Amino acid sequence: MKNSLAYMEKDTPIHKLSGTSKLTSFLLLSIIVMTSYDTRFLILVMAISIYALRLAQIKWDDISFLVKIVAGFSLINLIAIYIFEPEYGVGLYASRSLLCQGFGRYSITKEQIFYELNVALKYFSTIPLALVFILGTDPSEFAASLNSLGLSYKISYAVALALRYIPDIQKSFEEIKEASQARGLEMSKKTSLGKRIKATTAIILPLIFDSLERIETISQAMELRRFGKEKTRTWYKKRPLTKRDFLVVGLSIFLVIIGIALFFVNKGRFYNPFR
């Protein structure tokens, strides 16, 4: 199924990495990207993230819908920042370079545009990383990696089940949608947006009941197999660390060190080109 947050099994360098190294690298880079506001550093991480996305052979058709949704929410967030704090960048960078005079406090300044550019770069740096990690990591291997990092195997297994369940929910949604259309409920682009939203909302209730039934079936199966009785467990999908894994983790740590070093160079988290 296209545009689903499901693991795609492929023979790529990304897929051959251990789930532990991928999770560690993802967490390290996500934290430093969310912390830093250095434009140069964010562009560097974004370039590496996009390269990793291509290296994992993840096609645009597989992620286009997800990316468009995230991009839409990101745009709404950027607009909201301007509406509530139109001169936040002015105070942040301690300068005001006017580009266009607006009404009241709603003017366009270089500082505000630069600040919102950095916010956008954060999204475009972390989204490819998240997609590479989710689509390039087997859920069972992901659970094993969480457990190897010290998380309880019960919680780790719950996270893996959630990842496995996302494609099932999408499949159920499509099946209920097709059944509704067969009964005469129009949900295509031929009808208005309001009617499509209303029709889609009507699918939520049967989807919830279907999900609850699946959850009950899974929980009963796990209880019958006495899941959770022991304090530890072994993992069939656990992949041992190799030189490639240490190289990837080392690169991530190196990028984190660069990001932290830039805090001292910039005398703070923000790179200020308006000084």
One domain for residues 127 and 248:
yes
Determine the Cα–Cα distance for residues 61 and 40; give it in Å rounded to an integer.
29
237 confidence band (pLDDT: 50, 70, 90): low
pLDDT at 46: 92
Helix (H, G, I), strand (E, B) or coil at 270: strand
pLDDT at 246: 92
One domain for residues 88 and 218:
no
Determine the Cα–Cα distance for residues 193 and 140; give it in Å rounded to an integer.
39
One domain for residues 246 and 179:
no
One domain for residues 106 and 193:
no
3-state SS string over 92-116? Answer: HHCCCCEEEEEECCEEEEHHHHHHH
The answer to whether 156 and 26 have CB atoms below 8 angstroms apart is: no
Structure-token pair, residue 89: 């960048």
pLDDT tens digits, one per residue of 3-16:
456 677 788 888 88
One domain for residues 113 and 210:
no
CA atoms in the 13 A half-sphere facing the CB of 28:
20
One domain for residues 256 and 219:
no
One domain for residues 94 and 182:
no
Signed CA dihedral, 182, 184, 190, 196: sign only: negative
pLDDT tens digits, one per residue of 41-99:
999 999 999 899 888 888 887 788 778 888 888 889 889 888 888 888 888 888 888 77
Domain count along the chain: 2
Average pLDDT, the chain: 80
pLDDT at 56: 86
Q: Which residue has the tokens 């960078």?
A: 93
| CA end-to-end span of the chain | 51
pLDDT at 193: 65
**157 is in which domain, residue-wise?**
139-236
189 confidence band (pLDDT: 50, 70, 90): low
Of residues 161 and 250, which shows the higher confidence score?
250
Determine the Cα–Cα distance for residues 61 and 3; give it in Å rounded to an integer.
7
pLDDT at 87: 84
Determine the Cα–Cα distance for residues 94 and 273; give it in Å rounded to an integer.
11
Structure-token pair, residue 73: 């929410």
Query: Has residue 257 got a pLDDT over 90?
Result: yes
List the Cα angle 86/90/95 in 5-degree steps.
155
Ranges assigned E (strand) in the chain: 98-103, 106-109
One domain for residues 131 and 264:
yes
Q: Which residue has the tokens 């506001």?
A: 37
What is the identity of the amino acid at 9?
A: E
pLDDT at 15: 84
Query: Has residue 174 got a pLDDT over 80?
Result: no
One domain for residues 65 and 76:
yes
Determine the Cα–Cα distance for residues 119 and 108; give it in Å rounded to an integer.
17
Share of the chain above pLDDT 90, in %: 16
One domain for residues 76 and 25:
yes
pLDDT at 60: 80
One domain for residues 62 and 88:
yes
pLDDT at 186: 65
One domain for residues 70 and 121:
yes
The answer to whether 22 and 145 have CB atoms below 8 angstroms apart is: yes
pTM: 0.74
The stretches of 225-272 forming alpha helices (DSSP H) are 243-265
Query: Has residue 201 got a pLDDT over 80?
Result: no
